[in-house]
Structure 1
Amino acid sequence: MHNQVSKMMEFVARCAEPDKLRQIAKNAEAGGEPSLALAARLRLYEVLPAEKPGTLEHAVWQSIYALEDVLKQERGKTILLARTRQKIARHGEVRCVADLVTGPPSDGFQMLLDRDMLDLSFEAVALKFPDKFEQTTLDAARSRLDAVGYSA
């Protein structure tokens, strides 16, 4: 069984098809393979954004897709982060991240913390792109992450 999981992990790392990744995650959860399910979901969040990988915009959309997927898992139906999406449409990714990071901790931050996925939080995104944000935003992001014992 371990050999099969290893082969699936290798497949997941190369797969760029969202439907296949969703199915692998679902099957892995049903089969008691949480590490494979998590790997498939994380890869899904990597391939979903239309923005260029390695950009701030890609990282922001990875975070949004991750949170929307977590909400779907919890509530059994598709939940879009409508206010976040609207704010990005109006003001762009940088301002949206800055506003959320400098405000009170969001439900999304807690959800990602609970799932050991803080590297997808807007706080971690801000720290990955320090040249895009003001120092107050970076300080707020670092402070919030430090408070929960996360080191970026």
Structure 2
Amino acid sequence: MADYSRILAAIAASEDPKQLRRFQENARDKGVPEIAEAAFRRLLEVLPDEIPGSVEHDFWKTIHAFEELLKDERGKTIRLSRTRQKIGRVGVMQTLRDFATSKAPTDGFRMLIERNMPELTGEALVLKHKDSFDTDVVAAAKARLIEAGVDVEAL
């Protein structure tokens, strides 16, 4: 097995989205999924402008993840226009509440679950930052994740 430690170190140190996308694309072309995954995860860390660890930073990681997945799937840049408009109207916290308590899961939730990225769902963010939400919202988020087969204790 090849030693990718230098590439992984460069990815971990990178703050440049263009460079990280190049790492990701090159790794996909060469069939090295662990490098592509590392570059994708790092990209999600550097794209948000908010303070790392905050609800807002984690939320924007989720939005960027979904947009990046759609871009890869459709071959063109896709913006979550309606979601971004909603955030502008009601804010991040209310948007997360609505994600968790909606009757049906969002397309983003389904897509992230299908790609084994449950930690990036809005519902997972509600659990991660449960002290910022009412107990009914936390319970709804937990129930949706459990229904989708996610081990919520592992999040």
Same fold (TM over 0.5): yes
- Pairing 1:113-128 to 2, within 5 Å after superposition: 113-128=113-128
Cα distance in 1 between the residues matched to 2:149 and 2:99 = 20
Distance of 1:124 and 1:93 partners within structure 2: 14
Q: Give the whole-Å Cα distance in 2 for the aligned partners of 1:108 and 1:94.
A: 17
Query: Paired residues, what number?
Result: 151
Counterpart Cα distance in 1 of 2:125 and 2:111: 16
Task: For 1:148, give the aligned amino acid.
Answer: A
Q: Aligned partners of 1:54 and 1:7: how far apart in 2?
A: 26
AA at the equivalent of 1:25: Q
Take 2:62 and 2:6, find their aligned partners in 1: how far apart are those partners?
Answer: 27
The alpha-carbon deviation at position 7 of structure 1 amounts to 1.7
The one-letter code matched in structure 1 to 2:9 is: E
Counterpart-to-counterpart distance in 1, 2:131 and 2:27:
39
Q: Could you say which residue in structure 2 is the equivalent of 1:46?
A: 45
TM-score by length of 2: 0.94
Q: Distance in 2 between matches of 1:91 and 1:56?
A: 15
Deviation at 1:75, TM superposition (A): 0.5
Cα distance between partner residues in 1 of 2:69 and 2:80 = 11
How many percent identity over aligned positions?
44
What's the RMSD between the two structures over aligned residues?
1.0
CA deviation profile, 1:72-110 (whole Å, cap 9, x unmatched): 001111110111111111111000011011111011011
Aligned to 1:147: 147
Residues 26-60 of structure 1: per-residue CA shift (max 9 Å, x gap) = 00000000111011011101100001101000000
Equivalent position of 2:77 in the other structure = 78
AA at the equivalent of 1:9: L
Amino acid at match of 1:32: G
List runs of 5+ in structure 2 lacking aligned partners.
none
What is the deviation of 1:149? 2.6
1:6, CA displacement in angstroms?
2.3
- For residues 115 and 9 of structure 1, the distance between their equivalents in structure 2, rounded to whole angstroms, comes to 22
Tell me the distance in 2 between the aligned counterparts of 1:105 and 1:89. Answer: 21
Letter in 2 for 1:121: T
Gap runs ≥5 in structure 1 = none
**Counterpart for residue 10 of structure 1:** 9
Residue 43 of structure 2 aligns with an amino acid whose one-letter code is L
Q: Aligned letter for 1:43? A: R
Q: CA deviation at 1:123?
A: 0.5
Q: TM-score, normalised by structure 1?
A: 0.95
